[in-house]
Amino acid sequence: MDFAPSARAADLTERVRAFIRAEIEPAEAAYHREIAARRAGAGDPWEPLPLIAELRAKARAQGLWNLFLPAGHEGPYAERYGTDGGAGLSNTDYAPIAEQTGRSFLAPHVFNCNAPDTGNMEVLLKYGSAEQRERWLEPLLDARSRSAFCMTEPDVASSDATNMALRADVEGDEVVVNGRKWWSTGVGHSDCDVLIVMALSDPEADRHHRHSMVIVPRDTPGVRVERMLPTMGVYDEPHGHGEVSFTDVRVPLSHVVAGPGRAFEIAQGRLGPGRVHHCMRLIGLAEKALELACERGLSRVGFGKPLVDLGGNRERVADARIAIDATRLLVLHAAWKLDQGGPLHALSEVSQIKVAAPNMAQQVIDFAMQLHGGAGLSDDVPLAASWVTARALRLADGPDEVHRGMVARLELAKYGARR
């Protein structure tokens, strides 16, 4: 149970931290102003901002690129696209880096470490054919293209993945996709050219072999982004979350990842590390919120005292510190378990953090918002947006309730319970 990062990871963490402080944080205000201006009519908010490309070039030049690449799976790509041209990192080693990137909305994009592209790259790395990797993985590793992941559906309770009803019917050497997805993150981006779609391919198979992962190029006829969806009023341009309809969408059978019926297995392999990434970023988000709270609380005066000395504010600072530290350790522990034995070895641990981290972050950020008064609700400080991120992650990748159910099932199984 050694959570200490390796020397290489410690060095990368520090360099990422310094890069964010020196290069990204100073650019954030201008970035958000530009997005706001575009929203108000001064351009297309779904086009990437040049700033991102510039920052990416700098980061890549410093070897801070594709840091998420999973050790042992990075294959021939580590040399060309990997961090410092070297091998991938373990989950334990990547975790503190992800925490740093969580402090800034831009950082994951700058380092090419943003969801859902990371998860999609992992899927292609671990399960993709040579052809799939060449065509879809390399441009993603190179940040020449962007991708979306299409899982959740509007018409069924998608927290029960066996409900997924969008069809992928094999007809000869083609697959025909029909149905509707929503909350397909990244589909709004003008660079998005590929969707990975979870689809029902064999309703008669047992419940864990009915679905397939199908690669659908964005421009395939029949693919239509019906609308972009706001999250608590925010569209998250230029990536966004879309509702996508598929009408007689035909792709070659070779676009099915790892062959039909393996979507559950792939989703599981994809989601374990992805949830650790999300959770570590939430730790960073919460740390940032606590920093803002402390600074505001010490500098702003009301009723003759710094705000932090009023009422229960110091207790809330302490509770935030305790909650952040305990949750960080829990996430590191899950990362370490993943490294020890893979996703099946860490089912409870990953579900535990998926409950604990967003709820913790939501609470810490809420406190920071409250201490900021009206400013905390505005976009003058990044708290409102951070809160939305944390809140959305209580649903994305499985709602709290489903993860609590998994933790309980595994706990009760120790006493012989069958489910």
Question: At 50, is the secondary structure helix, strand, or coil?
Answer: helix
Report which DSSP code applies to 264.
H
Q: Round to whole Å and give the CA distance between 372 and 175.
A: 53
Among 232, 247, 252, 344, binds its own copies (CB under 8 A): 232
Identity of the residue, 141 or 390, whose beta carbon is nearer to its own copies in the bound complex: 390
Residues 142-161 that bind its own copies (CB under 8 A): 152, 154, 157-160
Residues 315-334 that bind its own copies (CB under 8 A): 315-319, 321-322, 325-327, 329-330, 332-333
Q: Round to whole Å and give the CA distance between 106 and 24.
A: 7
Q: Round to whole Å and give the CA distance between 5 and 270.
A: 23
Examine residue 163 and tell whether it contacts its own copies (CB under 8 A).
Answer: yes
**Tokens of residue 93, six digits:** 């080693």
Examine residue 347 and tell whether it contacts its own copies (CB under 8 A).
Answer: no
Residues 377-396 that bind its own copies (CB under 8 A): 377-379, 384-385, 387-388, 391-392, 394-396
Residues 26-65 that bind its own copies (CB under 8 A): 41
Q: For 68-119, give the secondary structure using H, E and C.
A: CCECCCCCCHHHHHCHHHCCCECHHHHHHHHHHHCCCCCHHHHCCCCCCHHH
Q: Shortest gap between Cβ of 367 and its own copies (angstroms)?
A: 11
Identity of the residue, 247 or 378, whose beta carbon is nearer to its own copies in the bound complex: 378
Name 225's bridge partners: 244
Residues 66-125 that bind its own copies (CB under 8 A): none
Among 42, 134, 314, 342, binds its own copies (CB under 8 A): 314
Q: Shortest gap between Cβ of 215 and its own copies (angstroms)?
A: 23
Q: Shortest gap between Cβ of 375 and its own copies (angstroms)?
A: 7
The answer to whether the beta carbons of residues 158 and 150 sit under 8 Å apart is no
Examine residue 8 and tell whether it contacts its own copies (CB under 8 A).
Answer: no
Nearest to 337, CA basis, from 326, 327, 328, 348:
348
Contacts of 382 (CB under 8 A, 6+ apart): 28, 105, 288
Q: Shortest gap between Cβ of 399 and its own copies (angstroms)?
A: 6
Q: Shortest gap between Cβ of 51 and its own copies (angstroms)?
A: 21
Name 70's bridge partners: 89
Among 72, 85, 230, 342, binds its own copies (CB under 8 A): 230
Identity of the residue, 230 or 259, whose beta carbon is nearer to its own copies in the bound complex: 230
**Tokens of residue 5, six digits:** 């990062």
The kind and range of the H/E element at 140 are helix 138-141
Question: At 216, is the secondary structure helix, strand, or coil?
Answer: strand
Q: Shortest gap between Cβ of 206 and its own copies (angstroms)?
A: 16
Among 87, 165, 310, 347, binds its own copies (CB under 8 A): 310
The answer to whether the beta carbons of residues 196 and 120 sit under 8 Å apart is yes
Residues 279-308 that bind its own copies (CB under 8 A): 290, 294-295, 297-298, 300-303, 307-308
Total interface residues for its own copies by CB under 8 A: 90
